[in-house]
Amino acid sequence: MGIINFLFSIRRTFEAERAKYFAVEQGARQAAEQRSQELAAQVAESESRYRQVFENANDAIFIHDLQGRFIEVNQFACQQLGYARAELLQMAVKEIDTPQAGAHFEEGVQALVQQGQVVVTSCHVRKDGTPIPVEISARIIEYNGQPAVLSVARDISERKRAEAEIQARNQELDALYRQAEERARRIAVSNEIIRTVSSARTLEQIFQTFAEQTRKLVPYDRMSIALVHEASTQLTVHSIAETGMSGPQPGMLVQMEGTATPMVSETRQPFICSDVSQEPRFPVAKQMLEKLGIQSYVILPLFAKDEFLGALNLGSRSTNAYHETDLHVLVPIAGQLAIVIENARLQEQIASMAIREERDRLGRELHDSLGQVLGYIGLKTDQINSWLRRGLIEDARQGLTELNQVAQTAYADVRESILGLRATVTTNAGLEHVLREYLNRYQREWRIAGDLAVAEGALPRLLPSVEIQLLRIVQEALTNARKHAQASHVWIRFEREGERLVVTIRDDGIGFDPTLSRREHFGLETMRERAESVRGTWQVDSAPGRGAVIRVTLPASS
């Protein structure tokens, strides 16, 4: 009985433990099922959020395998490319890339596998063929247990347009900068033309300088400057600049009829002929230019106020060589050239008038001085004849000696006058050059040493009338040093004192008393009159035994 009870006790204990086990097992199963349900709910929620983000992204998102076949695409990608989702999922990356971009697909995948993530720019093509520039951010992911590529493609059309606009603006700025540089260069050359042409002494120098400088601005194969001849139907060719051509040369006369010259003279406007062979209005010019091989040209009228002076012609062996932009450069310098030509002509006229006036004055002076000498010789000769008739031989001999001295003096004066007349300031030779030549002849002729010193900038180009008067003052001073002062050395100096030009002539002669009457110092009075005639002042400083200093002062504006 006891054993049976023991066995029943064990059985009850076992059944109780089994009941507990089953209860625990059931609870664990329920907990596992609940956890599994919770995890499934979380996964579903995560997938829902992912899908929501995937579908609502503002960029095209693609998932494709390593061969480029699409596995998944979002709605934005479909809209951006114009394909249905089902269509895209049947396609590969190369089918939405441009041929240039698709050619580098394999290289891009290899780089992506090595680096894990890349950002590149590429170009997709819509279904309708429209290209779309994109920036792609791609990375390697695992999708359904397989390696795949997640690509986010952002449309950068606006950015590309902005970049293109910026580039275009930069190109415009570069072009404007180059234009400004070219304009500055042309202005600099134009200023150089004006400066050098204005300082030229002769028309030939003006034309030569103009031709050299103009080539830096506007290329040409032939350039000519022709001025109106005395007969208004003809032009005188004054300058030719050309490369390997033969045609009208300087000094030749050419007819205006049959050329564009009368037209530009009447309209006062330049004329561009882009193709000589297609211009029938000017047959004479056409025939001549075709012989020279000129295919296009530009002609500019030269006016001084209302007077037509002539024309400036530039020709080229190429057609369409000249344009309106060239006129922006040529018209101003042609205007300046006309002014300089007119000024040069006026200077030559003034110089010629001054030379004529000076010759007239010297003629009068020679007439007066020689008249007195010849009158004296006549009287002295009569006196000597009278002595001879009366037998006063010694008196006659003495008279002849005096007569010989007067003749020698007159001869020296004539030689000196001739020497002075040879020294003439011209448009080619300035005052300094003429003075140096005169001083050299003076030293050789009279054996008197001479020095000429010109301080830097002290002797600019003066008006012709001023140069001639200064030359004659110096000549008169040197004559006095020879005839009266018995000098062995003379010094001439030009210098600037503020806004005034000062000329000093000094000698080492015996000197004189400047307070004596004008009759005794006629040469000094002549020098004073010459200085005052050109708005200058004249001073003399001398005394017996200490030489003489003559000082002439002129305004620098002379």
pLDDT of residue 458: 77
Class of domain 181-345: alpha beta
pLDDT at 213: 82
Q: Which residues of 38-69 are buried (b: 16+ CB within 10 A; e: fewer)?
A: eeeeeeeeeeeeeeeebeeeebbbbbbbeebe
The structure's pTM equals 0.48
- What CATH code would you report for 58-155? 3.30.450.20
Per-residue pLDDT of 229-283, as tens digits, reads 876 788 888 767 776 656 677 778 888 989 999 999 999 999 999 999 999 999 9
Per-residue model confidence as pLDDT tens digits over 335-394: 988 988 888 777 777 767 766 766 766 666 665 566 677 777 777 788 888 888 888 888
CA angle 298, 300, 304 (to 5 degrees): 170
| Beta-strand relationship, 489-497 and 449-454 | parallel
pLDDT at 427 over 60: no
Predicted confidence (pLDDT) at residue 42 exceeds the cutoff of 70: no
Instruction: State residue 399's pLDDT score.
Output: 78
Q: Where in the chain are the domains?
A: 1-56, 58-155, 181-345, 423-555
Is residue 475 within 8 A of residue 517, CB to CB? The reply is no
Fold (CATH) for 423-555: Heat Shock Protein 90 (3.30.565)
CB atoms within 10 A of CB 394: 9
Taking Cα atoms as reference points, which of 343, 341, 333, 340 lies closest to residue 192? 333
CA 121 to chain centre: 46
Range in 119-123, 182-186, 350-354, 364-368 with the lowest mean pLDDT: 364-368
The position carrying tokens 């920036």 is: 135
pLDDT value at residue 2:
57
- pLDDT at position 383 is 80
CB 539 within 8 A of CB 508: no
Residues 81 and 96 sit within 8 Å (Cβ to Cβ): yes
Q: What is the mean pLDDT of the chain?
A: 83
What does the pLDDT read at residue 364? 63
The more confidently predicted of residues 336 and 220 is 220
**Dist CA 392 CA 234 (whole Å):** 76
58-155 and 423-555 share one CATH topology? Answer: no
Residue 187 confidence (pLDDT) above 70: yes
Q: What is the mean pLDDT of residues 136-141?
A: 92
CA 518/CA 515 separation, integer angstroms: 9
- Each residue's pLDDT tens digit, 478-494: 988 988 889 999 999 99
Structure token digits, residue 8: 């029943």
Rounded Cα distance between 250 and 240, Å, is 7
